[in-house]
Amino acid sequence: LLNEEIEIGEIETRINAQVRSHMEKEQRDYFLRQKIKSIHDQLGDNISEEEEAEEYRQKLEKSGIPKEYKAKLRKEIARLETMPPMMAESAIIRNYLDWVFDIPWTEESKDNLDLEKTKQMLDEDHYGLEKIKERILEYLSVRILSPESKGPILCFVGPPGVGKTSLAQSIARALGRNFARISLGGVHDEAEIRGHRRTYIGAMPGRFIEAMQQATTINPLLLLDEIDKVGNDFRGDPASALLEALDPEQNKNFRDHFIELPFDLSEVLFVTTANNLETLSRPLLDRMDVIEISGYTPDEKLEIGKKYLLPKQREICGLNASNFNITPTALRLIVDSYTRESGVRNLERKISTLCRKAARELVETNKEKISISQKNLSNYLGKPIYHYDKNDHIHKIGIATGLAWTESGGDTLFIEVNVMPGSGKLELTGNLG
C-alpha cells in the first residue's frame, strides 16, 4: 500500500513539474511576444494579427472577386488570424492573399474604338505591314458592332528583326490597352504556365497570372513572345498547358495551381510571335490566326531607315538634323552593300555606328555639320561587305539565270553548264530543293 502511494506521489510530482515547465515556457513566450509588441508600438510600425485580418477582410469586400470564391478566402483570413505570427505557414497564407488581391478581377480599360485614329497611330509606328494593320482594323470594326465578341489570338510569323514584338506594343498603344509581355523562349516546365501548388516552398503563380498583375486590367494585350521556342521534358509539356489559356471556349475559367480560383482570361487580346511554325504543336496552331510577315524589300528598308531608325539613333547620340545627315544614296548603299537580312536590326546597328563616329568627330574637330554620302561612307564603315551579282544581259551559251528565294530575301543565280568527258552516269551534287 505504501509503495503504491509512493508511486502515485512520484507520478503526480512528475506531472506537476511538466505542467509547471510548460506554463513557464508559455508565460516566457507570452512575455517575449508582449515585449516585441511594445517595441514595435514604440517604433510605430506594428500591425496586430486582428488588424491585419481586418485589413484583408476590407480588401475582400472592395475587390471584384466573384461571390462564390469569397467564402474560401474568408476561411484563409480566419486561419491567418488564429495562427501565431512566427509560424512558417502564416507567411505562405499572407503571400497567397497578397497575390489574390493584386490581380485585376474587374478593372477594365476602355478600348479606343476610333478607326481613323487607330490607323494613324499604327502608320506612325510602323512602315508597311498592311496586312496586319488591316487585320487590327477588322478586329476593331467587329468590336464596334459586337462589343461582347471575344478577342482573336493573332500569331505573327516571320524572320528576326521585322518588328513582330514592337508591332504588338504598337497595337496595344493604338487600342488604348495595357501591355504585358510573356517570354516563352526556353520554357520547358508546365508550372511556369500554370504555377506551383502552395505546398511547395517558394511557390509562385504562373506567367499568365504574373502578367495580369503587371497589366493591372482584365483586358490587356498579352504578348507571348517566341512561342515556337517552348520545350518539354519530364516536368510536363508547357505547350499543352497553353492550350487552355489560348482557347476562347475554355479560358473564361483558367485555373492557376497557386491561386486555386478560376480566373477569366476571355477579355485578353493575345498576340503571339514565332520565327518558324514547324516546331509548333498542331493543336496550339489550330487556335491561332496566323499572319505571315515576310522580310522587307530594299525600298522598304530605305524608308524605315529614313523615317524611324535615323531619327531614333540621332536622338540617342545627342545629334540632330542640323549637325548630322545621311544622304538617301548613302543609306541605299548601306542597305545593299553592308547588310543582308530580312529585318532591319543590322541596318539600325550600322546607322548607330555612323552616329557614334560622327558624334566623336564633332567633339574632336569642332565641325558644325557632318554629312555621310556615297563617297565618304567607306571611311566610316570600311569596305562594302556584300556584293550582288548583276546580269550583264549578254546571252552566253551554257549560262542560265535563276532566282532564289529565302525568308532572308532573294537573289539572282547564274548557273553555268559545261560538258566534260565522263562515264555516262548522271551525278547530282549540292543541296537540291
pLDDT of residue 396: 77
- Closest alpha carbon to 403 in 388, 386, 425, 384: 388
Total number of residues shown for the chain: 433
What pLDDT does 242 receive?
A: 81
Kindly write down the DSSP assignment for every residue of 258-298, as one continuous string.
TT-SEE--TT-EEEEEES-STTS-HHHHHTSEEEE-PPPPH
Dig out the grid coordinates for 5 from the structure: 502511494
Asked if the model's pLDDT at residue 189 lies above 80, the reply is: no
pLDDT of residue 213: 86
Q: Considering only residues 75 and 53, tell me which one the structure prediction assigns the higher pLDDT.
A: 75
> Which residues have CB under 8 Å from 358's CB, separation 6+?
317, 319, 324, 370, 372, 380
Q: How many CB atoms within 10 Å of residue 61?
A: 8
Instruction: Give the closest residue to 191 by CA, choosing from 249, 232, 155.
Output: 232
C-alpha cell at 263: 480566373
pLDDT band at 4 (very low <50, low <70, confident <90, very high): very high
Q: Report pLDDT for 2.
A: 93
Q: Please name which of 108, 92, 112 lies closest in space to residue 100, comparing C-alpha atoms.
A: 92
Question: pLDDT at position 21, please?
Answer: 82
Tell me what the mean pLDDT of segment 7-16 comes to: 91
Amino acid 159: pLDDT: 81
Can you spell out the DSSP letters for 154-172? EEEE--TTSSHHHHHHHHH
* Distance in angstroms (rounded) separating the CA atoms of residues 413 and 26: 89
pLDDT > 90 fraction of the chain, expressed in percent and rounded:
3
Does residue 46 surpass a pLDDT of 60? no
DSSP H helical ranges for 83-186? 88-102, 115-125, 130-145, 164-175
Q: What is the pLDDT of residue 408?
A: 61
Q: Is the pLDDT of residue 49 over 70?
A: no
Model pLDDT, residue 235: 67
Residue with the bigger pLDDT between 168 and 143: it is: 168
Q: What is the pLDDT of residue 8?
A: 92
Of 11 and 245, the one with more pLDDT? 11
Q: Binning pLDDT at 50, 70 and 90, where does residue 50 land? A: low
Is the predicted pLDDT of residue 335 greater than 90, yes or no? no
pLDDT tens string 119-150 = 888 888 778 778 888 887 887 888 778 777 77
Give the containing element (helix H, strand E) for 33. helix 2-43
The alpha carbon dihedral of 111, 114, 119, 124 has a sign of negative
To which H or E segment does residue 112 belong? none
**78: pLDDT confidence band, cut at 50, 70 and 90?**
confident
Return the residue matching grid coordinates 523615317.
307
pLDDT of residue 390: 64
For CA atoms 289, 294, 300, 306, the dihedral sign is positive
What confidence score (pLDDT) does residue 1 get?
Answer: 92
In terms of pLDDT, which residue wins out, 195 or 237? 195
pLDDT at 315: 86
pLDDT confidence of residue 268:
85
Confidence of residue 185 (pLDDT cuts 50, 70, 90): confident
- Pick the range with the lowest mean pLDDT from 44-48, 235-239, 241-245: 44-48
**Which residues have a Cβ under 8 Å from the Cβ of 294 and sit 6 or more positions away?**
158, 162, 342, 407
Task: Provide the percentage of residues in the chain whose pLDDT is more than 70.
Answer: 93
pTM of the predicted model as reported, rounded to 2 decimal places: 0.70
Per the CB < 8 A criterion, the answer to whether 102 and 94 are in contact is no
Q: DSSP 3-state helix, strand, coil percentages of the chain (rounded to 5)?
A: 50, 10, 40
Output phi, psi for 122, to 5 deg: -65, -40
Of the listed ranges 106-110, 148-152, 314-318, 422-426, the least confidently predicted one is 148-152
Say what the pLDDT of residue 420 is.
82
pLDDT band at 391 (very low <50, low <70, confident <90, very high): low
Whether residue 45 is predicted with pLDDT greater than 60 in this model: the reply is no
